[in-house]
Structure 1
Amino acid sequence: MEQPRTALAERIAEQRAGVGDPRALVGEMRRSVLLVPTAEGGLWSARSGGVRWICGFTDEAALARFALHHGSGDRPWEFAALLGARIVDEVVPSLDEPAGLAVDIATEDGSMFFPPVAGIVPDGVALDVDAEGNAR
């Protein structure tokens, strides 16, 4: 029996279908507990396009799909359970480089990226806000 999708996975599906409200999606991400794999004492991330992406998963099934893609599905993965708000408000600014949140990246037609822009991360680390707090 297939596990029901989380509220965040539902908002992602709506957005990908073109019927979602972006503000509701960001709000749901902030309220959701995400499973973030840990490695070498830190949170697992990947760099792409000049951005460091912290990888979070909406449930254990999504994390397991990721583990299988990385060839280590037969061993348990250590992970932290963090609120999305904590990731984007505290972890992202601590990284000293452009960073965002990638959710369910191994879920076909179910992933979503939350880039380092105003409204998602604090203005001080948003790429679309200058040092004076003005939109670029």
Structure 2
Amino acid sequence: MDLRAHIAETRAGAGDPATLLGEFRRAAVLVPTAGQLEDRLLARSFGGVHWILAFTDEAALAQFAGRSGAAPDQPWPYVAVLGARLLDVVIPALGRPAGVAVDLADEEGSMLFPPAPGIVPAEVAVHGTDGEEAA
């Protein structure tokens, strides 16, 4: 089963979140690049969290580009990155709360991997306060 199938299963309430996370970690996702030298990964900020945008395939990336107002023939450079590398290397290097938003333009097939314990390394995870101070 591929990442997209695990996302669908989890969204339907039948999947296992740990299995989904494992599949994401093993999957190569496409991450658009931005900036003059195209050396930065495309991201959006929402709710105090920096979300790296990742896509399961070129069709999902094209859907996002189209909804973002890009011309159909406009190139969108991207890099293929393992999910584990995003979670374990890229996010800690950002120095701020960050997660990964997968297939953001697909209302029925998107998935967020937030900066929570068990998803990103503990030292960069955002901990809920529940009346206690965050570490």
TM-score of the two chains, using structure 2 as the length reference: 0.89
The corresponding residue for 1:8 is 3
Which SS does the other structure have where 1:71 is aligned?
coil
Partner of 1:3: none
Counterpart of 1:42?
40
1:30 matched to which residue of 2? 25
1:108 CA drift (Å)? 2.5
| 2:13 maps to which of 18, 21, 24 | 18
Q: Within 2, Cα distance between the matches of 1:60 and 1:129?
A: 35
Distance 1:74 1:68 in 2: 10
Count of residues in Structure 1 that have an aligned counterpart in Structure 2: 127
CA distance in 2, matches of 1:23, 1:8: 13
Unaligned runs of 5+ in 2: none
Aligned-partner Cα distance in 1 for 2:46–2:9: 25
Q: Which amino acid aligns with 1:9?
A: R
Structure-1-length-normalised TM-score: 0.89
Classify the secondary structure of the residue corresponding to 1:80.
strand
Indicate conservation of the 8 Å contact 1:102/1:111, yes or no.
yes
Instruction: Say what the alpha-carbon RMSD is for the aligned residues.
Output: 1.7
Do the aligned partners of residues 129 and 108 (structure 1) sit closer, same or farther apart at CA in structure 2, a change above 3 Å counting?
Answer: closer
Amino acid at match of 1:82: V
Q: Is there any run of 5+ residues in structure 1 with no aligned partner, and where?
A: 1-5
Instruction: Report deviation, 1:93.
Output: 0.4
Identical pairs, percent? 55
Q: Helix, strand or coil for the counterpart of 1:92?
A: helix
Question: Residues of 1 paired with 2:61 and 2:15: CA distance?
Answer: 24
Counterpart for residue 58 of structure 1: 56
CA offset at residue 74 of structure 1? 2.6
Partner deviation per Cα, 1:77-106 (whole Å, 9 max, x = no partner): 100100000001000001111000000001
State the secondary structure of the residue aligned to 2:14.
Answer: coil
SS in 2 for 1:127: coil
Residue type at the aligned position of 1:43: L
Q: 1:129 offset after TM fit, Å?
A: 7.8
Cross-structure match for 2:73: 74
4+ residue stretches of structure 1 with deviation over 3 A?
Answer: none
